[in-house]
Structure 1
């Protein structure tokens, strides 16, 4: 009997210990929808984001998890046909939440050879039988409401809690107002919510009202891009997420218990592009001597990147370092930044007199001692200075990109002057020696100059044969932007728009 009691105590202790050690399983908030909920891979490529990427910032992550399963290009129908809803549904457990928003793509054709993603309008039971022209599968197409209702019923069947949103508004304006979808997909979403006793958030109306309060000029190029009236920027996605959180607080949905009182929201960090060079890159108040760096931001998405122009007129690779300009700039570099390095125009100057800006020719380690007032300077080669800047950029975790210098408006033998055998060559060799990316901007520009001809190119150089005016600076900046847009390795393709 004593042995039996002892065994019972041991089993009870083990059982209690096992239960005590088992952690509480947090509920998960799943988002399902189209590209306005999750754009692309959800990494902000092209500056576009979905609100599902930001909704987690409004929730207590110690008590609830968030998974964004939305996929761009899907409708309420194709999200299910592709098995995306099954993936979510199979993971659902009691107490989870599903935030549902479809509609932007449901208005497309029911059957075609491009996407075949449309649904029948409304919330009825009518159907249309098709042989899908893309998949070849015989398919029965239902109404928008039917597909939304299926997600709702499946969610409830798993003991999870659905929340339906009307689709976000597009950045279309008419007489100072943003059109609503309260007679179409917004209305039908609401009707399904009411029919199934489910929480409904009129995201379309609430966000449109917010946009109208800001005004079209303040919304475009801040919350939406001018080039895209459907997909939000990071600020637009954050706005939508904040509206959802605020509207949930007004409901009796238990998800509101996980909403933070004072959420500390943040936008994705911008990428910094530092420009390091001479007057052909630098900002200038002289309209006849404008560096291409002054025009370059025009071709950048400044919601994603900061262009920081540290270039200084009259500097060589040597003097940029000797005067402390390099150390000042380098102090600002952070991991993930980009640093464009371009020198050569002034490196051919005097080494030991006048402006003291010439560097030794070539790539070697030879030096020359130069007395400057009370200071003795050890002058190195152009390649030595360039390699130093490349290495120190990498040490800061930033990406160095070496550019060859820009060509002058000189046409020996009717060909645009290029320094193939000197600074163009040495810039390339510097990059190769330190395993950095090199862009032959000189040749790219020269080719375009040849196509335009001497008379047109002359207009780019109102002051002299080296410095461009605004038209020439913009021309150069656009050429670089096109190169960056096509360059996969650099990683700026989604931030650069050469056709702006």
Structure 2
């Protein structure tokens, strides 16, 4: 910790290299209007023309009935001093009717050499072809076939072509005018199966890709990019915030901003596309030098910062949303201003959208009362910190993760609760909880820490981040016992066995990230012993050996942990042969091993009649029990002689399970219940 003067009071964000999270909401850009102050003889700005259906522009484009298309907010992603945005999409149109109704002719007339067209159709290309009151269907596919017929509603003859044919027509027309046409697959609907968004990769998404390839046009798989984003945010959140209850096709304003973010991502991924130069700097790609600073001031007026610094004013009433990329979470209290800091009698949360990775967080605070800070899903980072006694600044490292697996089209198979009550462990933002008698936080600084070693945890519910009080785990307490030289990444999940975690690709996720110098702690047994197959124990052993080998092959250090005993009781089933198997594998492979099973038995015996205070049920622990078990593991690191012992916190004086801390000595504020 180092001394620092507390700041003044409004919430301001300073970003050294770039701002974290989603794009900051900007005033709506005036399309096709020369920039004020521009020279009359200056060359005209290029245009970006959008064509498509109601998912690009809904209704009049003013948020009718609370529905928005992504084209209505995409201007926020561009530097509109350098490019004009024209949203010429129209609801209800298919790739066919956008042409036959003369809409494309008008859009084409707006194109000049150097302009761009984004086209997204597909939602209305099904249905009837000639009869009914909405004959708008194109032929399925991307071929050259056609069908002649008479449109019943108008009595006019028409030749209907394939979906891909119409896209190729638009591409060719745009190219003939010297413009760049970019094809997008249609955004996904709010339709799910087994936790996965239903894709269009077998129909309109596939045909859009084929048409783009046939015509030599760039292609953005917006359907896939957006589906992955929806899955990251979770079915519950997507349905509640990005769509309306009765409409699974059209997005809300928040949903439109998320899709617009995905469009911008797709544009950035286009190799060599000149359109990229008109995008605002990405808020999703941190660099080693990027620093996010949040400060408190009396008002929310943005102030001048250094020339290299961007500044955005934020009020204390700002709630987190994908549109802003920062703000207070509604699950906690709304803080108030108290002199030079924000404070609350109840715990409050603040979130900032950040990419996956490790971050160094500095909390600037004031006051003589102890302050507790938890991150993400109730991970203990600071506890009992009295700012006035330590210079007013405390620092810790935190890890953020996403379900996507780098270098692989697959992702971690999350359980439904991991996109619900446990979503903060996987979502797009860092969430911090501030609690204590009267927490007074004056500033936050968040800086990427890509070079620090990571301690990965993999296990079951006795290790996993538990979402609700009073349940807890030693994995949630673990970060507190380290200094600022390592980050803890807890990938454990309730109900998992070692075989289940392998099948859900949880280990694949870790091995896509782990690097030389990292550690992987593995503790399984509670759920593995429920497997009654004849070869269950042998498979358990085989999987442990494999994980040890894979960890070493990555240049990291495996650490096996025997599972703690269940709550002592007469005739209660123990963990059987599973702890001895872990010991055998450790001896056989030479892997480090922490015998938490043995230490926990000694701990429970020492607790005597107070052992109930450590348990929430017969298996899971309270905050008190998890605190003691985390101390056991920390002591195990020291006893085992791991280099990681050098990273243990200076104030960790060791732990003897036979002499546990008194229950009354631990006063960690409870987190608000989020159910």
Q: TM-score, normalised by structure 1?
A: 0.48
Q: Which one has the largest radius of gyration?
A: 1
Q: Which structure has more RCO (C-alpha within 8 Å, separation ≥ 6)?
A: 2
More helix by share: 1
Please give the TM-score of this superposition, normalised by the length of structure 2: 0.36
